[in-house]
Amino acid sequence: MSVRERIWGKNAAKIAELLDEIDPDLSSYIQQFAYEEVMARPGLDLKTRELLAITALIALGNPDELKTHIRGAMANGASEKEVRETIIHSALYLGFPRALGAMKVLARMKL
């Protein structure tokens, strides 16, 4: 199973199609480089990488991709409690408004 499939789960084909519609070249870089090379590197497991991605996306202002990476973290062993703790911990470094926004995203998700 590819790293993308392990993170994107049942949405893998749909996400790939949406990325291709936006721009095929950028889609290729995201899918092949970001996921199949960087995310697949040894040294950190996917759960840890996804929790880090959640923190980075909170720093960027909770873009739509936050949901994808919350699901990806949970698909790779993170509990909802670990995701919540990641969001709460991010408040120390990124600010309470960003953490609150991420917590709202989590609360609206059907997990």
Residue 107 is predicted with a pLDDT of 95
Q: Which residue has the tokens 């070249």?
A: 25
Domains with residue ranges and CATH for the chain: 1-41 (no CATH), 44-111 (1.20.1290.10)
Secondary structure class of 26 (helix, strand, coil): helix
Residue 94 is predicted with a pLDDT of 97
Residue 79 is predicted with a pLDDT of 97
Residue 102 is predicted with a pLDDT of 97
Three-state SS letters, 33-99: HHHHHHCCCCCCCHHHHHHHHHHHHHHCCCCCHHHHHHHHHHHCCCCHHHHHHHHHHHHHHHCHHHH
Residue 64 is predicted with a pLDDT of 87
Taking every pair of C-alpha atoms in the chain, what is the biggest distance, in angstroms?
A: 38
Residue 35 is predicted with a pLDDT of 95
Q: Is the pTM of this model over 0.75?
A: yes
Q: Which amino acid is at 60?
A: L
pLDDT along the chain (111 residues), means of 10: 92 95 97 95 97 97 91 97 98 97 94 74
